[in-house]
Amino acid sequence: MAEFCSVEKDGPLTIVTIERPEVMNSLHRAANFELAEVFDDFVADESQWVAIITGAGDRAFSAGNDLKHQASGGEMGGPESGFAGLTSRYDNPKPVIAAVNGVSMGGGFEIALACDLIIAAENAIFALPEPRVGLAALAGGIHRLPRVIGMKQAMGMLLTGRRVSAAEGKELGFVNDVVPEGKALSAAREWAALILECAPLSIRGSKEAAMQGMNASSLEDAIKGKYDQIEAMFKSADVVEGPLAFSEKRAPNWKGE
């Protein structure tokens, strides 16, 4: 049984909730390893196609590292897959959505940035305040944020640790959707439903090619690149089912294989 998170499976959708509201869903070593196991299972489970991660309660998605636990001498650190088992995970072609309710700061913001979509409630607050406590956003924040919003805007957050609202996050480009307070998870479910209307291997191929293509030296190299998930898509039954369903004017029956 999980101690620091809960997992719900709704058909092909996995919903992971960080369950430490008493410390604003901040994470210590044990919680990080527990979440890593959850996402290991999600990646390996062929029946699960999309995941949502959120935080218990309305006050916080995650406040990041549990600094009080650390200051009291508690054991810190985490798995190879990074903070919450996500920030250093590079083997997952399946979409992950962050449903951000309240505070998303430090490692909490880095979890959200490691997801493919960020759906934020109006009360969401984002920041990378590590320099204010003598640290740095080393769980990917320093590198992901400039890639998402550009270097100058990212530096405006990285060098000040300032707090950014959900509305400003959408203007800057790292938030996909802003919804009323208390509605982040339900809105994330709606986004997940849209993804689940599509062929799962097409989704995985699109994610893999987009992410790996960012590392190519040119647009031409990115387009000509070889991507495992794209190859799997072309070998799948779904590549036949999609056009067939369209021609028969019916909803496709995706197999994901």
Enzyme catalytic residues: 110, 130
The alpha carbon of residue 240 and the mean position of all alpha carbons in its chain are separated, in whole angstroms, by: 30
109 to each of 69, 121, 246, how far by Cα in Å? 19, 14, 40
Instruction: Annotate 217-250 with DSSP letters as a single string.
Output: SSHHHHHH---HHHHHHHTSTHHHHHHHHHHTTS
The Cα–Cα gap between 46 and 5 comes to: 22
Question: What residue spans of the chain are helical by DSSP H?
Answer: 29-44, 67-71, 107-114, 141-149, 151-158, 166-172, 184-196, 200-213, 219-224, 228-234, 238-247
